[in-house]
Amino acid sequence: MTTMLEVTGLDASYGPIQVLRGLGLRVDEGEIVVLLGANGAGKTTTIRAICQMVDNKGSVRMGGAELVGQRPEKMAALGIAHVPQGRGTFPELTVEENLQVGAYVRKDRPEIRNDIDRSYALFPRLGERRTQIAGSLSGGEQQMLAVARALMSRPKLLLLDEPSLGLAPLIIQDLFARFDELNENEGVTMFIVEQNANLALDIADRAYVLEAGQIVLSGTAAELRANDAVRRAYLGF
């Protein structure tokens, strides 16, 4: 299995406050890797640092290319799609326009059209609302839109920041089921940052645990499920 994303010795800070210290992780092609951690551990910062949206030092290699030092708008062209915390939809644009924008870095118009139609097939609710303003969609629909938008760039790596946040339990289940499908059927490599450890570990291949800006545990999903500390802290039993 080829390594797609390799992070070594990553330090990240907001101004004078350092959040990540010497973080290291990797994501292999075709995997779903999950990052667990409590509030404030630095999970969102990790994703943002990978995407160069936060001051960072160290090494983040994506398929051989070094990301550290590059500008954030270059990430899409390098095959990274990021679904930020809080969805990050474009509220004043329509559903269809949100999807079009997702394909900004692509130039193959007919294929883009096909992909938009496939998004509607994957997420019929979006198809029903294609001319609606994204800001008027419900939380779950916006999350689907955000994921569909991210997929429009045909990414090599999909980064998801707390996709379950603010959503009803049934919707979250449905969402994670789709993540699993996307990974199985389309082979989309995913890196998911989550607080909802149960569902995340269900679909993950491997996982890491982040505490106070450092990785304290890593292993396969099964290993982490069996780990006592993880069970007590994140799985609730």
Partner 1 sequence: MTAVLAVPGIESNFFTLTLFLQNLTNALANGAVYALMALTVVMIYKTTGHLNFAQGEMAMFGTFIVYVLTIEQDLNVWLAILLVVIASMIVGAAFERVLIQPLESRSVLAPVILTLGLFFMLNGGAATIWGTQPHTPIPAPFPGHLDDKVDIITTRLPHFFITYKAFGVWATVAVLVVLLNLMLKRTKLGLAYRAVAANAESSLIVGIPVKRMLMLGWALAAGIGSIAGAIIAQYRNVLDFNFMAAVLLFGFAAACVGGFDSIKGAVVGGLLVGLVETFTPALFTFVGSELSLVMVLLVILIVLYFRPQGLFGSKRVERV
Q: How far is the CB of 174 from partner 1 (least distance, A)?
A: 23
Shortest Cβ 189–partner 1 spacing (Å): 17
Closest distance of CB 73 from partner 1, Å: 5
The nearest distance, CB 184 to partner 1, in angstroms, is 25
- Shortest distance in whole angstroms from residue 119 CB to partner 1: 15
Q: Could you tell me which residues are beta bridge partners of residue 56? A: 12
Q: Where do runs of H (alpha helix) occur along 103-152?
A: 109-122, 124-128, 139-151
Q: Are 59 and 7 in contact (CB under 8 A)?
A: yes
Q: Which of 98, 230 has the CB closer to partner 1?
A: 98
Residue 140, burial from CB neighbour count under 10 angstroms (0-12, 13-18, 19+): middle
180: phi then psi, degrees, rounded to nearest 5: -60, -45
Taking the least distance from each CB to partner 1, the nearer of 26 and 74 is 74
Q: Which is nearer to partner 1, 86 or 219 (CB)?
A: 86
Q: How far is the CB of 52 from partner 1 (least distance, A)?
A: 9
75 token code pair = 């990430």
Looking at the Cβ atoms of 42 and 102, the one nearer to partner 1 is 102
For partner 1, the closer CB: 12 or 230 = 12
| Binding-site ranges for partner 1 (CB under 8 A) | 51, 53, 72-77, 81-82, 84, 88-93, 97, 100-102, 104-105, 149, 153
Question: Which residue lies nearer to partner 1 by CB, 84 or 163?
Answer: 84
- CB under 8 Å to 186, separation ≥6 — which residues? none
Q: Where are the beta strands (DSSP E) in the chain?
A: 3-14, 17-28, 32-37, 55-62, 65-66, 80-83, 157-161, 189-194, 206-211, 214-220
**Dihedrals phi, psi of 195, to nearest 5 degrees:** -95, -30
Task: For residue 171, report the phi and psi dihedrals to the nearest 5 degrees.
Answer: -65, -40
